Amino acid sequence: MDEARLAAATTRIEQDGIVGLPGAFERSWVERLGEDVDAAFTEALAREGGAVGRGPNRYYVEIHPEQLRGFTELATHPWIDAVCAAVLGPDYQIVEVGFDVPLAGAVDQPWHRDFPMPQETKETGRLTSLAINVTTVDTEEDMGPFEIAPGTHREPGEEFEHGMFPPQENYPRYRSLAARKYPKMGDISIRSALTVHRGTANVSRKSRPVLVLGVDAPGAGNDERHDTAVTKGFWETLPESLRRHLHCPVVDRLQPITQKHTIEGLVMGAAD
């Protein structure tokens, strides 16, 4: 990848905590992704612990990579690979595949980050994980766009509840910084999940599913929150360039994932 383009992307992550790439995939590829996400969502809703609530009418589901027919294209996308390697180091690890589904009627989430700031980031400023987002639909104003407060990945968050939920007195500042995102099918973004963000109220009749790929620097520890696994047959189809970033168990048969990473503070929606 062109060095100047890569430097521009990593600078955006260092400064804002998020960078986007419009038109990374064809719409037809995203349509297939949407079908796979819908199928996984239906399956997860039908079993205990398959989908975790992230607020009223809002769910998160973790899945196995091979539940997505386009997993290999996604995980080997040159822009994603180059940005992850530049920020997290060449041995970055893909530790999470999942998706958020804000349904019609989802309410504003409280401003939050997805986990407390790691000690290493506090001490050195180094980011040790990234989240890649891929919308499966064109985002419209009434669908409760994702909102993010650029630069807030640098806040230590000592006063945040559970290290994740800033006090309400910070909200006016986040609102003044806030950027609402309107990605279309094919657009992708990479962000630090420490950047304070929230899903907003979905007042439309449509859902707004968004895929999440979680990537760690070696030793960052987010793999402990996730249960990603692959079958031997799927593993054999993966290029070596991707296998080196997947340290998950290779199994005979996949077990449906029971969600571990419940974010208690999101369950009620915002008290704002």
Ligand X SMILES: O=C(O)CCC(=O)C(=O)O
| Least Cβ distance, residue 1 to ligand X (angstroms) | 26
Annotate 13-71 with DSSP letters as a single string.
Answer: HHHHSEEEETT-S-HHHHHHHHHHHHHHHHHHHTSTTSSEESSTTEEEEE--GGGSTTH
Our finding on whether 183 is near ligand X (CB under 6 A) is no
Q: Which residues, 209 to 238, sit near ligand X by CB under 6 A?
A: 210
Our finding on whether 146 is near ligand X (CB under 6 A) is yes
Q: How would you class 83 by CB atoms within 10 Å of its CB: exposed for 0-12, middle for 13-18, buried for 19 or more?
A: buried
Our finding on whether 197 is near ligand X (CB under 6 A) is yes
> CB-wise, 114 or 187, nearer to ligand X?
114
Q: What is the largest CA-CA distance in the chain?
A: 52
Residue 197: which of 224, 168, 174 has the closest Cα? Answer: 174
Our finding on whether 149 is near ligand X (CB under 6 A) is no
> CB-wise, 157 or 238, nearer to ligand X?
157
Number of residues counted as binding ligand X (CB under 6 A):
10
> CB-wise, 60 or 71, nearer to ligand X?
60
C-alpha to C-alpha distance for 129 and 134, rounded to whole angstroms: 17
| Least Cβ distance, residue 60 to ligand X (angstroms) | 6
| Least Cβ distance, residue 58 to ligand X (angstroms) | 6
| Least Cβ distance, residue 266 to ligand X (angstroms) | 6
> CB-wise, 62 or 66, nearer to ligand X?
62
| Least Cβ distance, residue 122 to ligand X (angstroms) | 21
> CB-wise, 247 or 261, nearer to ligand X?
261
> CB-wise, 12 or 54, nearer to ligand X?
54
Neighbour count for residue 114 (Cβ, 10 Å)? 20
CB 131 within 8 Å of CB 193: yes
Alpha carbon 145 to its chain's center: 14
The one among 19, 30, 36, 54 contacting ligand X by CB under 6 A: 54
Our finding on whether 110 is near ligand X (CB under 6 A) is no
Residue 99: which of 133, 65, 66 has the closest Cα? Answer: 133
Residue 192: which of 262, 124, 266, 125 has the closest Cα? Answer: 125
Our finding on whether 199 is near ligand X (CB under 6 A) is yes
Site string for ligand X, 69-108 (x = CB under 6 A): -------------------------------x-x------
Alpha carbon 252 to its chain's center: 27
- Which residues touch 223 (CB under 8 Å, ≥6 apart)? 93, 95, 216, 247, 248
Q: Which residue is nearest to ligand X (CB)?
A: 199
Our finding on whether 191 is near ligand X (CB under 6 A) is no
At 117, is the secondary structure helix, strand, or coil?
Answer: coil
Site residues for ligand X per CB under 6 A: 54, 60, 100, 102, 114, 146, 197, 199, 210, 266
